[in-house]
Structure 1
Amino acid sequence: MIIEHLSHTADEAIKVEGFGLDDLFRNALKGMNNILKKGFCDTVKRFDCQMQIEVESTSKTCLLIDFLSEILTLSYVQKAIFCGVYFSHFSKNKLVATVYGTWFDQFEEEIKAITYHEAHIRRTEKGLWETCIIFDV
Protein backbone atom coordinates (compact mmCIF):
# COMPACT_ATOMS: atom_id res chain seq x y z
CA MET A 1 0.00 0.00 0.00
CA ILE A 2 1.35 3.38 -0.98
CA ILE A 3 -0.14 6.66 0.11
CA GLU A 4 2.07 9.58 -0.83
CA HIS A 5 1.38 13.20 0.07
CA LEU A 6 2.12 15.55 -2.80
CA SER A 7 2.70 19.29 -2.62
CA HIS A 8 -0.09 21.31 -4.18
CA THR A 9 -0.98 24.99 -3.97
CA ALA A 10 -3.42 25.71 -1.09
CA ASP A 11 -4.79 22.16 -1.18
CA GLU A 12 -3.75 18.73 0.00
CA ALA A 13 -2.98 16.18 -2.70
CA ILE A 14 -2.31 12.48 -2.29
CA LYS A 15 -1.22 9.76 -4.65
CA VAL A 16 -2.84 6.43 -3.82
CA GLU A 17 -2.15 2.90 -5.05
CA GLY A 18 -3.83 -0.45 -4.49
CA PHE A 19 -3.64 -4.04 -5.67
CA GLY A 20 -7.33 -3.99 -6.63
CA LEU A 21 -9.93 -1.25 -6.96
CA ASP A 22 -11.34 -2.05 -3.52
CA ASP A 23 -7.82 -1.78 -2.08
CA LEU A 24 -7.35 1.57 -3.84
CA PHE A 25 -10.62 2.86 -2.32
CA ARG A 26 -9.57 1.70 1.18
CA ASN A 27 -6.18 3.39 0.80
CA ALA A 28 -7.80 6.60 -0.45
CA LEU A 29 -10.05 6.57 2.62
CA LYS A 30 -6.99 6.14 4.84
CA GLY A 31 -5.27 9.02 3.05
CA MET A 32 -8.30 11.28 3.54
CA ASN A 33 -8.51 10.30 7.21
CA ASN A 34 -4.83 11.17 7.68
CA ILE A 35 -5.60 14.68 6.46
CA LEU A 36 -8.55 14.99 8.86
CA LYS A 37 -6.61 13.67 11.87
CA LYS A 38 -3.12 12.28 11.23
CA GLY A 39 -2.59 8.73 12.52
CA PHE A 40 -6.04 8.55 14.14
CA CYS A 41 -7.04 5.27 12.46
CA ASP A 42 -3.73 3.64 13.40
CA THR A 43 -4.66 3.89 17.09
CA VAL A 44 -8.35 2.91 16.90
CA LYS A 45 -9.15 -0.11 19.07
CA ARG A 46 -12.95 -0.16 18.62
CA PHE A 47 -15.65 1.37 16.46
CA ASP A 48 -18.47 3.50 17.91
CA CYS A 49 -20.79 3.57 14.92
CA GLN A 50 -21.49 1.98 11.57
CA MET A 51 -23.32 3.32 8.54
CA GLN A 52 -24.32 1.78 5.23
CA ILE A 53 -23.70 3.75 2.05
CA GLU A 54 -24.59 3.18 -1.57
CA VAL A 55 -22.86 5.15 -4.30
CA GLU A 56 -23.42 5.09 -8.08
CA SER A 57 -21.37 7.04 -10.61
CA THR A 58 -20.56 7.18 -14.31
CA SER A 59 -16.98 5.86 -13.95
CA LYS A 60 -14.67 4.25 -11.43
CA THR A 61 -12.86 7.59 -10.92
CA CYS A 62 -16.13 9.43 -10.21
CA LEU A 63 -17.16 6.52 -7.97
CA LEU A 64 -14.02 7.01 -5.87
CA ILE A 65 -14.51 10.76 -5.47
CA ASP A 66 -18.23 10.31 -4.70
CA PHE A 67 -17.40 7.53 -2.19
CA LEU A 68 -14.92 9.76 -0.36
CA SER A 69 -17.32 12.72 -0.47
CA GLU A 70 -20.11 10.60 1.02
CA ILE A 71 -17.87 9.46 3.87
CA LEU A 72 -16.58 13.01 4.43
CA THR A 73 -20.18 14.20 4.81
CA LEU A 74 -20.87 11.37 7.28
CA SER A 75 -17.76 12.35 9.23
CA TYR A 76 -19.05 15.88 9.72
CA VAL A 77 -22.63 14.82 10.51
CA GLN A 78 -21.74 11.92 12.84
CA LYS A 79 -18.59 13.53 14.33
CA ALA A 80 -16.76 10.29 13.54
CA ILE A 81 -13.81 9.25 11.44
CA PHE A 82 -14.65 6.14 9.43
CA CYS A 83 -11.54 3.98 9.50
CA GLY A 84 -13.06 0.65 8.45
CA VAL A 85 -14.99 -0.31 5.34
CA TYR A 86 -16.58 -3.54 4.14
CA PHE A 87 -17.79 -3.66 0.54
CA SER A 88 -20.83 -5.91 0.08
CA HIS A 89 -21.07 -4.89 -3.61
CA PHE A 90 -18.32 -3.36 -5.71
CA SER A 91 -18.29 -2.70 -9.45
CA LYS A 92 -16.80 0.07 -11.61
CA ASN A 93 -20.03 2.12 -11.38
CA LYS A 94 -21.61 1.16 -8.07
CA LEU A 95 -20.70 0.18 -4.55
CA VAL A 96 -22.55 -0.73 -1.39
CA ALA A 97 -20.49 -0.59 1.77
CA THR A 98 -20.67 -0.58 5.52
CA VAL A 99 -18.31 1.95 7.05
CA TYR A 100 -17.16 1.79 10.66
CA GLY A 101 -16.33 4.95 12.59
CA THR A 102 -14.94 6.19 15.83
CA TRP A 103 -16.07 9.39 17.50
CA PHE A 104 -13.47 12.13 17.89
CA ASP A 105 -13.06 15.55 19.48
CA GLN A 106 -11.96 17.72 16.53
CA PHE A 107 -10.34 17.60 13.11
CA GLU A 108 -6.73 18.68 12.68
CA GLU A 109 -7.53 19.86 9.16
CA GLU A 110 -10.92 20.67 7.67
CA ILE A 111 -11.62 19.35 4.16
CA LYS A 112 -14.09 21.54 2.28
CA ALA A 113 -14.34 19.37 -0.82
CA ILE A 114 -12.76 16.55 -2.79
CA THR A 115 -12.14 17.54 -6.40
CA TYR A 116 -12.41 15.54 -9.60
CA HIS A 117 -9.54 17.63 -10.96
CA GLU A 118 -6.44 15.47 -11.62
CA ALA A 119 -8.21 12.33 -10.43
CA HIS A 120 -7.95 9.53 -12.96
CA ILE A 121 -7.76 5.90 -11.91
CA ARG A 122 -5.36 3.97 -14.09
CA ARG A 123 -3.39 0.76 -14.08
CA THR A 124 0.40 1.00 -13.69
CA GLU A 125 2.98 -1.09 -15.53
CA LYS A 126 3.29 -3.17 -12.34
CA GLY A 127 -0.44 -3.93 -12.43
CA LEU A 128 -1.39 -1.68 -9.51
CA TRP A 129 -4.29 0.75 -9.60
CA GLU A 130 -3.37 4.38 -8.88
CA THR A 131 -4.72 7.92 -8.86
CA CYS A 132 -4.06 11.36 -7.45
CA ILE A 133 -6.73 13.03 -5.32
CA ILE A 134 -6.89 16.72 -4.45
CA PHE A 135 -8.62 17.85 -1.26
CA ASP A 136 -9.74 21.46 -0.94
CA VAL A 137 -8.74 22.43 2.62
Structure 2
Amino acid sequence: MSPISHPSPEGVAPGNGYSHVATGPGRWVAIAGQVSLDADGKFVGLGDPAAQAQQVFANLDRCLTAAGATFADVVKLNFYVTDIGILPAVRTARDAYVDTANPPASTAVQVVALFSPDALLEIEAYAVVVD
Protein backbone atom coordinates (compact mmCIF):
# COMPACT_ATOMS: atom_id res chain seq x y z
CA MET A 1 0.00 0.00 0.00
CA SER A 2 1.35 3.41 -0.97
CA PRO A 3 2.09 5.90 1.81
CA ILE A 4 0.95 8.70 -0.50
CA SER A 5 -2.27 10.36 0.62
CA HIS A 6 -4.65 12.58 -1.33
CA PRO A 7 -6.52 14.82 1.11
CA SER A 8 -9.52 16.71 -0.26
CA PRO A 9 -9.23 20.38 0.68
CA GLU A 10 -12.43 21.81 2.09
CA GLY A 11 -13.91 24.58 -0.06
CA VAL A 12 -12.06 23.52 -3.24
CA ALA A 13 -14.01 21.96 -6.12
CA PRO A 14 -12.98 18.35 -6.85
CA GLY A 15 -10.36 17.91 -9.56
CA ASN A 16 -11.39 16.26 -12.81
CA GLY A 17 -8.81 13.53 -13.29
CA TYR A 18 -6.27 14.93 -10.82
CA SER A 19 -5.84 15.52 -7.10
CA HIS A 20 -5.37 18.99 -5.66
CA VAL A 21 -3.07 17.64 -2.94
CA ALA A 22 -0.74 14.65 -2.73
CA THR A 23 1.64 14.13 0.17
CA GLY A 24 3.73 11.47 1.81
CA PRO A 25 6.87 10.79 3.82
CA GLY A 26 10.18 9.85 2.20
CA ARG A 27 12.89 10.69 -0.32
CA TRP A 28 12.10 13.39 -2.91
CA VAL A 29 12.58 12.43 -6.58
CA ALA A 30 12.40 15.02 -9.37
CA ILE A 31 12.15 13.85 -12.98
CA ALA A 32 13.09 16.40 -15.64
CA GLY A 33 10.58 17.14 -18.36
CA GLN A 34 10.38 14.20 -20.74
CA VAL A 35 9.55 14.39 -24.43
CA SER A 36 8.95 11.60 -26.93
CA LEU A 37 12.60 10.81 -27.64
CA ASP A 38 13.59 7.16 -27.86
CA ALA A 39 16.85 5.70 -26.51
CA ASP A 40 18.66 6.89 -29.66
CA GLY A 41 17.42 10.47 -29.29
CA LYS A 42 14.95 10.22 -32.17
CA PHE A 43 11.38 11.49 -31.89
CA VAL A 44 8.63 8.88 -31.65
CA GLY A 45 5.21 9.76 -33.08
CA LEU A 46 5.94 12.82 -35.19
CA GLY A 47 2.67 14.77 -35.37
CA ASP A 48 0.84 12.10 -33.33
CA PRO A 49 -0.11 13.29 -29.81
CA ALA A 50 -1.18 9.82 -28.62
CA ALA A 51 2.07 8.17 -29.74
CA GLN A 52 4.12 10.98 -28.24
CA ALA A 53 2.23 10.75 -24.94
CA GLN A 54 2.79 6.99 -24.80
CA GLN A 55 6.54 7.47 -25.34
CA VAL A 56 6.70 10.25 -22.75
CA PHE A 57 5.03 8.10 -20.09
CA ALA A 58 7.31 5.16 -20.98
CA ASN A 59 10.29 7.52 -20.52
CA LEU A 60 8.90 8.75 -17.20
CA ASP A 61 8.47 5.14 -16.10
CA ARG A 62 12.11 4.39 -16.98
CA CYS A 63 13.29 7.47 -15.07
CA LEU A 64 11.23 6.57 -12.02
CA THR A 65 12.60 3.02 -12.09
CA ALA A 66 16.16 4.35 -12.25
CA ALA A 67 15.40 6.36 -9.09
CA GLY A 68 13.90 3.36 -7.29
CA ALA A 69 10.38 4.74 -7.69
CA THR A 70 7.13 3.85 -9.46
CA PHE A 71 4.11 5.81 -10.59
CA ALA A 72 2.51 4.90 -7.24
CA ASP A 73 5.09 7.26 -5.69
CA VAL A 74 4.33 10.20 -8.00
CA VAL A 75 2.78 13.14 -6.19
CA LYS A 76 2.87 15.76 -8.97
CA LEU A 77 2.83 15.85 -12.77
CA ASN A 78 3.32 19.02 -14.82
CA PHE A 79 2.10 18.88 -18.41
CA TYR A 80 3.35 21.33 -21.04
CA VAL A 81 1.50 21.02 -24.34
CA THR A 82 1.65 23.04 -27.53
CA ASP A 83 -2.11 22.56 -28.03
CA ILE A 84 -4.47 22.11 -25.09
CA GLY A 85 -6.67 20.05 -27.43
CA ILE A 86 -4.30 17.08 -27.12
CA LEU A 87 -5.00 16.65 -23.40
CA PRO A 88 -7.45 13.75 -23.96
CA ALA A 89 -4.65 11.77 -25.67
CA VAL A 90 -2.26 12.68 -22.86
CA ARG A 91 -4.79 11.61 -20.21
CA THR A 92 -5.34 8.27 -21.95
CA ALA A 93 -1.60 7.56 -21.83
CA ARG A 94 -1.41 8.81 -18.22
CA ASP A 95 -4.29 6.57 -17.12
CA ALA A 96 -2.32 3.49 -18.20
CA TYR A 97 0.29 4.38 -15.55
CA VAL A 98 -1.38 6.18 -12.63
CA ASP A 99 -4.01 5.14 -10.11
CA THR A 100 -7.01 6.95 -11.57
CA ALA A 101 -8.88 6.67 -8.25
CA ASN A 102 -6.11 8.69 -6.57
CA PRO A 103 -4.24 10.50 -9.33
CA PRO A 104 -1.30 12.78 -8.57
CA ALA A 105 -1.66 16.51 -8.27
CA SER A 106 -1.28 17.95 -11.77
CA THR A 107 -0.93 21.15 -13.73
CA ALA A 108 -1.49 21.50 -17.48
CA VAL A 109 -0.17 24.49 -19.38
CA GLN A 110 -0.37 25.35 -23.08
CA VAL A 111 2.94 26.79 -24.27
CA VAL A 112 3.91 28.53 -27.49
CA ALA A 113 6.73 26.09 -28.18
CA LEU A 114 8.97 23.46 -26.64
CA PHE A 115 12.68 22.91 -27.33
CA SER A 116 11.92 21.35 -30.73
CA PRO A 117 9.04 21.95 -33.14
CA ASP A 118 8.63 18.14 -33.25
CA ALA A 119 7.76 18.00 -29.54
CA LEU A 120 4.01 18.32 -28.90
CA LEU A 121 4.26 17.79 -25.14
CA GLU A 122 6.68 17.61 -22.25
CA ILE A 123 5.89 16.18 -18.84
CA GLU A 124 7.84 16.40 -15.59
CA ALA A 125 7.18 14.34 -12.48
CA TYR A 126 7.84 14.57 -8.76
CA ALA A 127 7.72 11.53 -6.51
CA VAL A 128 8.17 10.71 -2.84
CA VAL A 129 9.73 7.32 -2.11
CA VAL A 130 9.80 5.59 1.26
CA ASP A 131 13.16 3.83 1.64
Q: Same fold (TM over 0.5)?
A: no
Tell me which structure has the larger Cα radius of gyration: 2
Larger RCO (CA within 8 A; separation ≥ 6): 2
Normalised by the shorter chain, which TM-score bucket? Answer: 0.3 to 0.5
Q: TM-score w.r.t. structure 1 length?
A: 0.35
Structure having the higher strand fraction is 1
